């Protein structure tokens, strides 16, 4: 019974955390010419090191330029050169992968103008939208509860039958 109970608790914990994002990050982006700099911070403002950061520029709702990988130049600071559209307003899309979690954020820019450091929210992107483990773990937990209940009821009947004899 203890094994069933511990397995049930494990399944419930996995169900609760399946597909959940455990991180909350933000970014401070700046652009000087074609050089893009992004500072990635966690919820407390600490630098997020070792992330994989890419960026692309394009017209809002239009085709984007080739994605460029930014390199970490100091703890939590990533830098790279992006290709900007020829004229007018455009959008820079930044993607940050930290601990296998993907975050994305846009920032608006104007061709020919530098962008001073601007805070940008980085929203979590659920890569498992087509398939999630949550319903499977929940179903397994239900089966475990039903099995444990049946075993407990059978043992309870057996004990009461032995007492009557």
Q: Given this model, what pLDDT does residue 4 score?
A: 58
Does 54 lie in the same domain as 10?
Answer: no
Does 140 lie in the same domain as 82?
Answer: no
Nearest of 42, 32, 27 to residue 106 by alpha carbon: 27
Does 45 lie in the same domain as 6?
Answer: no
**pLDDT higher at 21 or 112:** 112
CATH of the domain at 68: 2.60.40.10
**Structural domains counted in the chain:** 2
Q: Given this model, what pLDDT does residue 139 score?
A: 79
Does 60 lie in the same domain as 80?
Answer: yes
Does 45 lie in the same domain as 8?
Answer: no
Cα(7)–Cα(36) distance, integer angstroms: 49
pTM above 0.75, yes or no: no
Does 141 lie in the same domain as 111?
Answer: no
């Amino acid at each position: 019974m203890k094994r069933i109970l511990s397995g049930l608790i494990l399944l419930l914990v996995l169900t609760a955390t399946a597909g959940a994002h455990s991180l909350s990050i933000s970014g401070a982006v700046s652009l000087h010419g074609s050089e893009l700099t992004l500072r990635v911070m966690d919820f407390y403002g600490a630098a997020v090191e070792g992330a994989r950061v890419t960026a692309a520029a394009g017209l809002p709702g239009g085709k984007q330029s080739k994605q460029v990988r930014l390199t970490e130049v100091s703890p939590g600071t990533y830098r790279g050169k992006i290709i900007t559209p020829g004229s007018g307003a455009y959008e820079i899309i930044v993607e940050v992968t930290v601990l296998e979690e993907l975050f994305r954020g846009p920032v608006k820019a104007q061709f020919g103008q530098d962008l001073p450091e601007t805070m940008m929210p980085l929203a979590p992107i659920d890569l498992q939208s087509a398939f999630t483990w949550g319903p499977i773990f929940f179903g397994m937990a239900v089966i475990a509860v039903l099995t444990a209940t049946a075993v407990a009821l059978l043992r309870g009947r057996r004990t009461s039958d032995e007492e009557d004899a």
